[in-house]
């Protein structure tokens, strides 16, 4: 890259070759309006807002696509340019329904802000009043084509960020419409509901079904925290108003996911239907009844002191809670561990980060199903495949990644993959609990490979670090234990080790009603992700912060605090 010198509005600007005029101008603090441009997406040049005058060029140029050149003289705000911008806005407003009075983004709309800026006090062209059906077939995302300006940000985000390629355009000219797949309702399409399209839409054309009309930009609070729904640890920008969470955005340019989220992180936590437990419950005459903390903890303390204790942690909680849990279990001399299965070790190579998926020349996925369990990792693998990185699958269940793969084999043919990857400079092995020892051996010739181990569950590495090892394969029968203490957090008991301890006294610390909680003798309420302070450990082994967005309900206490109280009672 070399330096390029140009003037913008008479100002000397130094840029890098290959930069666009827009990039050079913004780096120099000169504002050029944009609408279809988005910093996370490729440039498209559709909206004509960024038109600039370049001396010697016959027509106005789109600054977002025009590369800088030595000696270029650029003007960004002449009368002619501003007239053109206003004219483009007038055409955009005339084409569909851009009456702001009943639009949910009025006040926060990029189109509206530009119309204000360029003094568009009315428009001269008659509206065609074409009927365009709103698509509300998806539970999370409403497509409102009447508000669409065809900037294609959503389409580019769907292709370039999540690599799902669901959205596209149909027809031409004034009949052009954004469509899902081959023009099916969004709810019946291949959409994975990652919601990145919602986050980039500049108008009210893509609507978050839950938070529409819920609050303007100036009325809301942003809290950055770490997603706790799987082990990837994506950074969340949680948008709330008072104690109501409106919606969740990804935080651009943050590790691990770069701002990409999945349905499990962005939407599902806000559509929780399980019944919350907001005060301790104790079993009385066969029924679970509400109790005070003092009473409940006294019962728990007495039981922990008197019996052989088994402590099980699900990992759907913070490192602090897990450490306190392990400490309590050690104090009462109980057996303690986590319910998640063991994550094998590869035995060679160096650890990698999630973002390395986009910076490797060969990807091997072995004994893992990231598109189901660590979706953002799955999307990044597909993005790498879109860029031409070969992806080979070993023991990966069918379900999406095969469309991005050059090779998909079962474990016995792992050596074929090793041969194929041998030429790669920096192969990356992504594996999870399904990695068989034979496969690890077969991959061993790739000694220079890096690996990314997809930890199962949510915070299983945090549990590991607290000394809570997987209890898979251990004898967990009722003859050996009198008391079960289950640190369930906000998780469900599915998908992990689940002992049958009929007859044992059961203590469950959890946020929601569940079959396990119904079986318990004492239930201690726990916070959910949005209420937590503390940390989690992600699959890269990084310790990431949890910041509370909303207060815990009255009657709920942080697990670590409760567990520490119990320790003092022992």
Residues at the contact surface with other proteins, assessed by CB under 8 A:
99-103, 106-107, 112-113, 115-124, 126-127, 129, 131
Nearer to other proteins, 127 or 305 (CB): 127
Nearer to other proteins, 102 or 425 (CB): 102
- How many Å apart are CA 211 and CA 247, to the nearest integer? 6
CB of 119 to other proteins, least distance (A): 3
CA 374 to each of CA 55, 231, 232, 371, 555: distance values in angstroms, whole numbers, following the listed order: 51, 7, 6, 6, 33
Nearer to other proteins, 91 or 251 (CB): 91
Nearer to other proteins, 119 or 173 (CB): 119
Question: Cα 122 from chain centroid?
Answer: 41
CB of 205 to other proteins, least distance (A): 16
CB of 62 to other proteins, least distance (A): 24
- How many Å apart are CA 25 and CA 438, to the nearest integer? 56
Answer yes or no: are the C-beta atoms of 30 and 19 closer than 8 Å. Answer: no
Answer yes or no: are the C-beta atoms of 291 and 282 closer than 8 Å. Answer: yes
CB of 123 to other proteins, least distance (A): 7
For the chain, how many residues are written? 570
Query: If 0-12 CB within 10 Å is exposed, 13-18 middle and 19+ buried, where does residue 310 land?
Result: buried
Looking at residue 64, what DSSP letter applies?
T
Residues with Cβ within 8 Å of residue 550, at least 6 apart in sequence:
240, 243, 244, 245, 530, 531
Residue with tokens 């299983």: 460
CB of 390 to other proteins, least distance (A): 51
Answer yes or no: are the C-beta atoms of 201 and 209 closer than 8 Å. Answer: no
Nearer to other proteins, 101 or 182 (CB): 101
Both tokens of 415, joined, read: 């050596």
Nearer to other proteins, 218 or 554 (CB): 218
Nearer to other proteins, 55 or 127 (CB): 127
Strands (E), 242-380: 244-250, 281-284, 287-290, 309-313, 335-338, 350-351, 362-366
Residue with tokens 């206490």: 557
CB of 147 to other proteins, least distance (A): 13
Angle at 27 between CA 22 and CA 29, to 5 degrees: 95
Strands (E), 297-389: 309-313, 335-338, 350-351, 362-366
What would you measure as the largest C-alpha separation in the chain, in angstroms?
A: 90
Nearer to other proteins, 65 or 106 (CB): 106
Nearer to other proteins, 117 or 308 (CB): 117
Answer yes or no: are the C-beta atoms of 488 and 325 closer than 8 Å. Answer: no
CB of 103 to other proteins, least distance (A): 7
CB of 109 to other proteins, least distance (A): 9
Residues with Cβ within 8 Å of residue 194, at least 6 apart in sequence:
162, 164, 260, 261, 262, 263, 266, 375, 379
* Number of Cβ atoms within 10 Å of the Cβ of 145: 18
Nearer to other proteins, 120 or 234 (CB): 120
Half-sphere exposure at residue 534, Cβ-oriented, CA atoms within 13 angstroms: 24
CB of 507 to other proteins, least distance (A): 53
Answer yes or no: are the C-beta atoms of 511 and 493 closer than 8 Å. Answer: no
Residue with tokens 């990644």: 401
Nearer to other proteins, 128 or 333 (CB): 128
CB of 106 to other proteins, least distance (A): 5
CB of 122 to other proteins, least distance (A): 4
Nearer to other proteins, 112 or 314 (CB): 112
Hey, is 530 helix, strand or coil?
helix
Answer yes or no: are the C-beta atoms of 546 and 309 closer than 8 Å. Answer: no
CB of 18 to other proteins, least distance (A): 35
């Amino acid at each position: 890259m070399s330096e390029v010198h140009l003037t913008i509005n008479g100002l000397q600007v130094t840029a890098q070759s290959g930069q666009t005029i827009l990039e050079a101008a913004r780096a120099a603090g000169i504002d050029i309006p944009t609408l279809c441009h988005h910093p996370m997406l490729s440039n498209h040049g559709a909206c004509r807002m960024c038109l600039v005058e370049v001396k010697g060029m016959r027509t106005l140029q789109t600054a977002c696509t025009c590369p800088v050149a030595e000696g270029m003289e650029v003007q960004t705000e002449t009368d002619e340019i501003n007239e053109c911008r206003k004219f483009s806005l007038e055409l955009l407003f005339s084409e569909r329904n851009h009456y702001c009075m009943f639009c949910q983004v009025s006040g926060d709309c990029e189109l509206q802000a530009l119309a204000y800026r360029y003094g568009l006090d009315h428009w001269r062209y008659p509206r065609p009043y074409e009927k365009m059906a709103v698509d509300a077939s998806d539970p999370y995302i409403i497509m409102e084509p009447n508000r669409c300006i065809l900037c294609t940000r959503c389409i580019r985000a769907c292709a370039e960020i999540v690599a799902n390629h669901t959205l596209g355009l149909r027809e031409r000219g004034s009949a052009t419409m954004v469509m899902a797949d081959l023009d099916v309702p969004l709810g019946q399409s291949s959409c994975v509901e990652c919601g990145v399209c919602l986050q980039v839409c500049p108008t009210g054309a893509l609507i978050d079904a839950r938070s529409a009309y819920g609050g303007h930009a100036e009325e809301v609070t942003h809290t950055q925290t770490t997603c706790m729904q799987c082990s990837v640890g994506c950074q969340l920008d949680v948008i709330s108003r008072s104690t109501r969470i409106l919606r969740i955005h990804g935080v651009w340019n943050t590790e691990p996911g770069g701002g990409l989220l999945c349905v499990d992180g962005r939407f599902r936590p806000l559509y929780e239907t399980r019944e919350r437990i907001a005060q301790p419950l104790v079993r009385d005459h066969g029924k679970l009844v509400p109790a005070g903390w003092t009473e409940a903890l006294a019962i728990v303390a007495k039981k922990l002191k008197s019996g052989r204790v088994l402590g099980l942690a699900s990992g759907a909680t913070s490192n602090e809670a897990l450490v306190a849990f392990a400490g309590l279990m050690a104090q009462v001399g109980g057996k303690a561990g986590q319910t998640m299965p063991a994550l094998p070790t590869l035995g060679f190579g160096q650890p990698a980060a999630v973002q390395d998926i986009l910076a490797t020349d060969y990807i091997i996925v072995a004994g893992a199903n990231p598109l189901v369990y660590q979706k953002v990792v799955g999307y990044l693998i597909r993005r790498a495949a879109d860029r031409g990185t070969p992806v080979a699958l070993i023991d990966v269940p069918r379900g999406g990644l095969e469309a991005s793969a050059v090779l998909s084999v079962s474990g016995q043919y792992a050596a074929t993959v090793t041969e194929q990857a041998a030429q790669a400079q920096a192969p990356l092995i992504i594996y999870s609990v399904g990695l068989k020892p034979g496969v690890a051996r077969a991959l061993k010739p790739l000694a220079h490979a890096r690996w990314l181990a997809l930890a199962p569950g949510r915070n299983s590495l945090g549990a590991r670090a607290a000394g809570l090892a997987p209890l898979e394969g251990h004898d967990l029968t009722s003859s050996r234990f009198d008391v079960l203490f289950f640190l369930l957090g906000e998780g469900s008991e599915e998908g992990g080790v689940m002992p049958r301890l009929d007859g044992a006294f059961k203590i469950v610390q959890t946020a929601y009603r569940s079959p396990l909680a119904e079986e318990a003798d004492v239930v201690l309420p726990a916070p959910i992700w949005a209420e937590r302070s503390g940390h989690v450990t992600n699959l890269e082994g990084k310790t990431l912060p949890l910041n509370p967005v909303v207060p815990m309900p009255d009657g709920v206490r942080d697990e670590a605090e409760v567990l520490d109280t119990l320790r003092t009672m022992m």
